[in-house]
Each structure stands twice: as structure tokens, then as C-alpha cells.
Amino acid sequence: MTGARRPGWGRLAAATLAVALVANACSDGETTPPQTPSPTAAPSPSPTTSRQGGTVRIGIAEPSTIDPGFVQGEAGQLVVDALFDSLVALDRDLQPVPAAASAWQMNEDATSWTFTLADATFHDGEAVTAEDFVRAFNRIVASAGGDTPAVAAFQLEAVAGYEEAVADGDPLAGVAANDDGTLTINLSHAFPDFLTVLADPALAPVPANVNDDEFAASPVGNGPFMMREPWQHGQFVRVVRFEEHPTPAWLDEVVFTIYDDDPTLSRQWEDLLGGQLDVGNVPAERIEEARTEFGSSSDGFTGPGYLGGITGTIYYFGFNVTVRPFNNPLVREAISLVMDRETIATGIMQDSRAPATGIVPSTIPGSSADGCGFCAFDPERARTLLDEAGGPALFDGPLEIVHNQGSTHEAIANAVAESITEHLGIETTVTSYGLDEYVGQLRETDIGLFRFGWTASHPSAGSYLYPLFHQSRSGLDNLSRFENEPISNALDAARATIDNEARNDAWRAVEREILERAPIAPLLFYHQTMAVRQRVHDFHRGPLGNVDFTAIWVEEG
């Protein structure tokens, strides 16, 4: 389970998108002229080796939904990426580029954005208007106070009037259609990274008069592909090229083949080997075989070949810093130093994970990369630190390590427990809970050491550091209960910094400050574990799961 969205618990590998400010601030509160940034060019197919047309078959688990406003999980995100365009997209450098919006402008302090929409239609021929985005955003926020809130609702927390809309059911005050082709979004605080938040596939437009049941089975989108037939649960989702899209796709169709009840990925792997799939997920124990069979991607994210790049998800152990003896940073560092990350990554996880070297994965802008000074395996130093703090006698009884149920979580927790006992002389116990109970236990009780995960909501170090460590999030996403006013002020200042480079420098500095206090023990970064057959070119799946389906092409034959 990974956290990542909404207070506390979000979609896996959803995570999200990088940051480059494309609108320059100007003085006197004026807005910049509309900007039309140039996307990073994807390789163009050679007419001698490729053709327009063909089908690509992609293996996925059964999505929970393909309604964009409620999508969660990588399976649903892949389908929604094909069917819908949000206001902006992310290029291969995780920078925002035009999608449903052709241009935008930002005011001086990054509290207001105005978007000019591209001339585009939904798949039924109706024009995409600003009101369709207003409707979509209000539909998402309206769910936030209900029994089944949209996972994406937290993405709109910065919009003016969000709290009132959730509490009272009113429309979002900060979102307005100026006319059919112009949308304005006002925020409650300065947030230059908000542009990349809007690349989330969940924030796509919704046409008028939507019947939720019909829309969930066969969404009418505005993206490069359209539904050929309703979703065949347990079998497939088939989409075909939408010829009227502003950037028509090369492919004729994409078939998302559903593998229901295949937790080991064995059936998906067999079909990938047999050619029934072009793109599929690889079981951890088959990674080396996949590299041999399909070759390796040149960058870890672009096929053909095995995609093994570092994603935006981190797996860590958190310390409740309000509970003794975890209120002592020396104790926290000592325990982290006996976590053998390399052995866990290569052994238990069979190279599907990498040892964490900081809080923010290296593929996310603003990461400090190797900022963690206590993430190495160093039992001798750990014993020295623990002795300095007071030794094993600090623990009145066994140290309880808590995780949510799952065989992998159990194996990792047991490995950590055994290492703590062996190297520090502290008796340990391991406790697990079902997911729903686990959430309540972490928020409502004084668990001292617990497993947690996080996936970026947008491509910025701030999408980790702010929710996990700002004192305003204590007890929500900040389950370590880490409260430090100077660091919270630094997080506020970094989030509001307009210049990209200066903002990323600020995130790096505050990450180092947080790591010096060790409120968590970063353990693993996730790898992509997907293979793309040699006939498929320019299938690029970014660190946060985004795919540009217009770029994919296949070789003839």
C-alpha cells in the first residue's frame, strides 16, 4: 500500500509529474502573455521502418474504474491517459506542455492561472469548453465529503473555496469559465507547481449530462483514443484512434487486456513471452529473463525493451517522534543504520526495488539524491549511536514493528526486526493489520515504528516533503507527527518560490534539514517492472506513470 493522495492514502504509482514554470512572472500584479511551450520532441518514426496503423496490446489488472474523476491505480490511469486530455500533459522531462489547453498565463505571485483551450471536441463531436472543466472539478470535489470520495479531490485543495465546497457542497469559488475557450483557476496560496498538478489524468473535462453508470462503462473523452465498445470487465478495454484529435495517434487501436486474479503476474508473463501481449508487467523473479528476452530500455522508461527506471514511489519506515524513545533522533538513526537496504532490494524484492538514498527519488525534480546520512548499512555506527542515547534499556519491552497485511510487507518487516535484534540487542515483535484498520491505528494510536509508502502527486520534491513533514499535516499524511516550525516555514517558502531552479534548490535544502532529524527511515525506491516487445517503439512511461499514446508506433509486419 502506498500513500499519496487525499489525506493520507493514495493511488500506487500514480504518482506524477515534474516542474518547469512556463509562464514568467511580471511586475505590478499583471499576468504574463499567453505562453505556448514547446514539448520535448519524441523521436519521429522513419517512413522506411514504420507505418501509421496497427494494434498494441497492453496487459493490465482489472481497473477499479475508468471514469477519470475517480481513477486510481496504474491500470485505470493507463486507460484514462489514452481516452482523455487534461489541461496540460507532461513531456519526457516531466515539464508541462499543452494538451487540452493550448496556452496559459500565470499572475505575479502564482495564485491565479488562466488557460486558453485548444480547438477540440469530445469523441461525440461536442466542443470541449471551459465549462466542461468547471463541471469536472466540481464533480470531484462534491465527492470529497461522501462515502466514496474521488482520490483526486486532494489535488484541488489549493483552489480557492475548496474547504467550503467540501463542507457545504457549494461549487468551487476559484474555478470559473470566462467564456467557452478560457478558464481561470484562482488559488488560496502561491503555488507555481500547480501547473504540473493539472497534468493529473483525473483532472480531465467531463461532458454535459453525464450518466455516471454509462460514463463509467464507456467514457466519452477528449483524448487521442475513443472507446470502441463498452468496457468488457475481466476481459479487455478496446480503444481506437480518434481522428479529430489535435494530435492524431499513429496506432489504429490499443487493447488493454485485463488479467483478473493474477497476483503473481504469471499469466501476463506467459502471454508476453508468447506474443499475445506487446507491453506487460514482469514478475520480480523474471526480471533478468525479461532483460535477456526483450533487451533493456535505453533510459529505463522508453520501449522497446525492459523498463526498469526509478519511479516516484518510496517505501519507508516511519517513527512516531512523540513516543519514547523515538523522540530521540539518535535512536531513530541507529535503527535506520541496521536496515540492510541492499539485501532487501536484491533479495526479498529481487531487484524490483532500489535502496533508498533519500526521501525524494532521484527521478523527481528537486531531490537531494544522496542526502540520507543514515541510509547505509552500518551496525557498528548504529551501536555507537544507540549507546550514546542510552542503549537497549531505553526500550521497556519488545519493540513493536507494525505493517499492513501482505506477504512482501511481512517479509521486509521480519528482516528489519531480525536485524534490529541481532545488531542492537533489542527484542522485537511484528504486528500486521488489514488495510482499513491499519489506517485507523496509525492515525489514532501511538505506534512507534511503522511501514508506509508514498507516491508523488506531481513532479516536485514538494509533493513528498510538504505533506509528510509540514506541521499542519501532523496526524494526517505526516504520521511521524514531526513538528518543527522553522522547517515548516521553509517548506512554505519553497512551495511559493517562483523560479524553478531556486525552488528546487530550496526543496533540496529542506530535505537535508529533515534528514538530519531522521523522522523516517527511507528504505526502498520502486523500479518500473514492465517489458515492451521490439515491434513497439516510443512507448514511454514516465516516473509517475504518464504515457503519451500519440507517440507510440509499431513496425510493419
63-248: CATH topology is Dipeptide-binding Protein; domain 1 (3.90.76)
Position 369 scores a pLDDT of 75
Between the CA of residue 168 and those of 114, 131, 146, 162, 535, what are the distances in Å? 26, 21, 12, 10, 53
In terms of Cα–Cα distance, which of 201, 198, 223, 203 is closest to 19? 198
Summarised one tens digit per residue, pLDDT across range 70-115 is 998 999 999 999 999 999 999 999 999 999 999 999 999 999 999 9
The answer to whether the beta carbons of residues 272 and 531 sit under 8 Å apart is: yes
- Report how far apart the first and last C-alpha atoms of the chain are (Å, whole number): 41
pLDDT for 413: 98
At 556 the pLDDT is 74
Residue ranges in 144-246 assigned as alpha helix (H): 162-168, 194-197, 212-217
Supply the pLDDT for residue 47: 45
Q: Could you give the residue ranges of the DSSP H alpha helices within 152-249?
A: 162-168, 194-197, 212-217
For the chain, residues with pLDDT lower than 50 are 1-50
pLDDT on residue 455: 93
Q: Which phi-psi region, left, alpha or beta, contains residue 500 (left: φ > 0; alpha: ψ -120 to 50)?
A: alpha
Say what the pLDDT of residue 435 is: 87
Which H or E run includes 413? helix 407-424
C-alpha cell, 290: 525479461
Alpha carbon dihedral 286, 79, 156, 544, in 10-degree steps, equals 30
Can you tell me the distance from the alpha carbon of 338 to that of 382, in angstroms, rounded to the nearest whole number? Answer: 7
pLDDT the model gives residue 557: 60
What amino acid occupies position 257? T
- What was the pLDDT predicted at 42? 46
Question: Phi then psi for 205, rounded to 5 degrees?
Answer: -75, 155
310-527 classified as CATH 3.40.50.2300: no
Contacts of 215 (CB under 8 A, 6+ apart): 67, 206
- The pLDDT assigned to 145 comes to 74
Q: Where are the domains of the chain?
A: 63-248, 310-527
